[in-house]
Structure 1
């Protein structure tokens, strides 16, 4: 697959081109980059992000087979999201080792996107955990009581069950939450803000 590299530093372009060539990519330096990018057919662009990046959507519309990887000076969730929304298939820190840029391009060629772990964690932090999102209010109340330091026997008396039945009900709830016991259940509930009184 032909690849064009756009970066202000010639040494950076040459170094990256060398790495890409080693694994079978054909690096091209077209005189008319815009025309080259608009040509139909599978081709890739690795570019250092900067001014005028808004035309990326237009390029992707004109050549839907174009694979784009953006190199950014500061990789954070905002930069990552911005360039993905603009139509890039991958976003990598420009200071990353060439192998990381190559990996992002290889994934992009196969319609996958590498997301740095730190950014992935921030993205999924907003997705509700299905284990706790459907937890009955009664079970949330049990967890709040346990978190306040009550024993199972005290919880049982408070909510109207025998101690034995309360142990059975809690074991069932722990199983549904996918945790091993009280401590893990309270950690999970705390992580999702269930222990806070509303």
Structure 2
């Protein structure tokens, strides 16, 4: 059965690669400029949503609230155990890494549309064991440190962050590493996820009203 599939990814070449794989299997693939409008127009479909920045997680939350008949597949890059478990808790039915083989992509889309959940083994293990959860007694970072984390979540590089904060890039890197250690995490992604889970960002991350972003192997 032909499926309606929306692909939301910042890279046109990646969207085109996904479309080529799924269209060859007979599915109708679109890259809507306004995702919520597409969801309202299509009675039932599958959304492939790349999660890179905090605004992408806001999109996932909105889909969970307004698109009960649509299955969401989260596309993630680094830290699959951390981001994958967060994506499932945020409403994704299935999780894929962005460099997944074309055949796996097609089978996952079709299985997800049929009501199945497809997850990488590390995500399934983390969900089953609770290994992704963090303690609730972590001391919140300072307002300045939270500002750094928020900027990183919104896509800033360490160099950009250093320029705004008045540090050298090397000094900024050392400050961030010290912050991660204080938070009990090892990487930028884990720090951002921890801050989000603890509610430290509050409502200040913001999101544009426009939800769109506008093979052998499907690669970034």
TM-score (norm. length: structure 2): 0.51
SS at match of 2:82: helix
Q: CA deviation at 1:122?
A: 4.2
Q: Is residue 5–residue 28 contact of structure 2 (8 Å, CA) maintained in 1?
A: yes
User: Residue 81 of structure 2 aligns with which residue?
Assistant: 77
User: Residue 98 of structure 1 aligns with which residue?
Assistant: 102
Q: CA deviation at 1:60?
A: 2.6
Distance in 2 separating the partners of 1:33 and 1:17:
16
Pick the aligned partner of 1:11 from 10, 13, 18: 13
User: Residue 24 of structure 2 aligns with which residue?
Assistant: 22
How big is the alpha-carbon RMSD for the aligned residues of Structure 1 and Structure 2? 2.2
Runs of 5+ unmatched residues, structure 2: 131-220
Name the larger-Rg structure: 1
SS at match of 1:24: coil
User: Residue 36 of structure 2 aligns with which residue?
Assistant: 34
SS at match of 2:18: helix
User: Residue 147 of structure 1 aligns with which residue?
Assistant: none
Give CA deviations for 1:39-85 in whole Å, capped at 9, x if unaligned.
Answer: 36101211211221123232232221111111111252221111111
Q: Is residue 41–residue 63 contact of structure 1 (8 Å, CA) maintained in 2?
A: no
